[in-house]
Amino acid sequence: MKLAFIGTGNMGGSLLAGVLAGELGSAAEVVATTRSTASGQALAEKLGITVLDLESDAAANRTAAAGADYVFLGVKPWMIADTLADLEGAIAENAVVVSMAAGVSLAQLAAGAPGHAVVRIMPNTPSSIGLGVISLAADGVSEETISELAQLLAGAGDVIPVPEEQMHAAIAMAGSSVAYFFLVMESLIDAGIAQGLSREAATRMVVGAANGAGQLAASDPRPADLRIAVTSKGGTTAAALASLENDDIRGVMARAAEACADRSREMEAGN
Ligand SMILES: NC(=O)c1ccc[n+]([C@@H]2O[C@H](COP(=O)([O-])OP(=O)(O)OC[C@H]3O[C@@H](n4cnc5c(N)ncnc54)[C@H](OP(=O)(O)O)[C@@H]3O)[C@@H](O)[C@H]2O)c1
């Protein structure tokens, strides 16, 4: 199997690292591209793959895509149309175009890559260590192709097929939510420092607790039950949770998810 990764920065590079660790990906022939020579060299060194860059060769994207079975698009959303225009005629007839861009619809992808099967995925950065969540939407693509693609992406994480209209919610839940968890960690570390801890100790405590909570929830995915189990009536956890509920933590999260999904809808509408 031959894979092309067109535009391989934070997200494309994370996804590719996970794919390369999987069974199908480790056996695949992979060519990735970047805009600059410097980032291309750094990526080639990090992942041990061939990376072409546009700074050295204006035809880098076309060369990488030629003969690939799957052409992954990891450029910024506003660059998808131009990138597909640049790739016109270079993508093999039976190749599948897989975009990870937020706010670029299947219809827009199909218009940019006429005649090709198009798939939309929404990964997140823990894909680099095989702990990603990858939402996937496709229209008119064969079951065999979806199954092969899901197998390929399995090295990067949990692949969750969704109808395309749910992609906005998927971005709010997984594509972007990793950053909300980082923000929660940052805030809690600052709170620990305000309580007299060193930054190092607070960071170890918070990151360790987040990791433990994530792993527990992954093994028993009922967060409400896990929360209730650690909350003694009248105890310290109950005091903290009452403060969070009083400050409308649920409303805060709902509004963040709504802002994220709304922005995704706006981007899809071209705003
Ligand atoms: N970041 C996330 O957590 C996340 C999550 C889900 C989806 N996404 C989606 O992933 C896509 C990429 O986001 P990102 O955060 O990874 O951006 P990024 O780090 O800026 O990566 C963009 C990559 O595209 C390269 N590039 C720029 N112009 C190019 C061109 N004309 N042809 C080929 N490559 C080109 C860049 O090369 P240089 O480095 O040399 O400029 C870089 O490797 C976006 O569409 C975004 O919606 C991101």
Q: Whose CA is nearest to atom 29 of ligand 1?
A: 35
Task: Calculate ∠ Cα 86-154-226, nearest 5°.
Answer: 125
Q: What percent of the chain has pLDDT over 70?
A: 100
The pLDDT mean for the chain works out to 96
How many whole angstroms from 73 Cα to the centroid of ligand 1?
A: 9
Task: Look at the chain and count its residues.
Answer: 271
Q: What pLDDT band is residue 271 in, cutting at 50, 70 and 90? A: confident
User: How many other CB atoms are there within 10 angstroms of residue 128's CB atom?
Assistant: 23
- Mean pLDDT of the region 47-56: 97
Which atom belonging to ligand 1 lies closest to the Cα atom of 38?
40
What domains sit in the chain, N to C, each tagged with a CATH number?
Answer: 2-163 (3.40.50.720), 177-268 (1.10.3730.10)
What tens digit of pLDDT does each residue of 129-172 get?
Answer: 999 999 999 988 999 999 999 999 999 999 999 999 999 999 99
d(CA 238, CA 250) in angstroms, rounded, equals: 16
Which atom belonging to ligand 1 lies closest to the Cα atom of 14?
16
How many whole angstroms from 75 Cα to the centroid of ligand 1?
A: 4
How many whole angstroms from 247 Cα to the centroid of ligand 1?
A: 36
Hey, what amino acid is at 20?
A: L
DSSP one-letter code for 35? S
User: Contact, 199 vs 193, CB < 8 A?
Assistant: yes
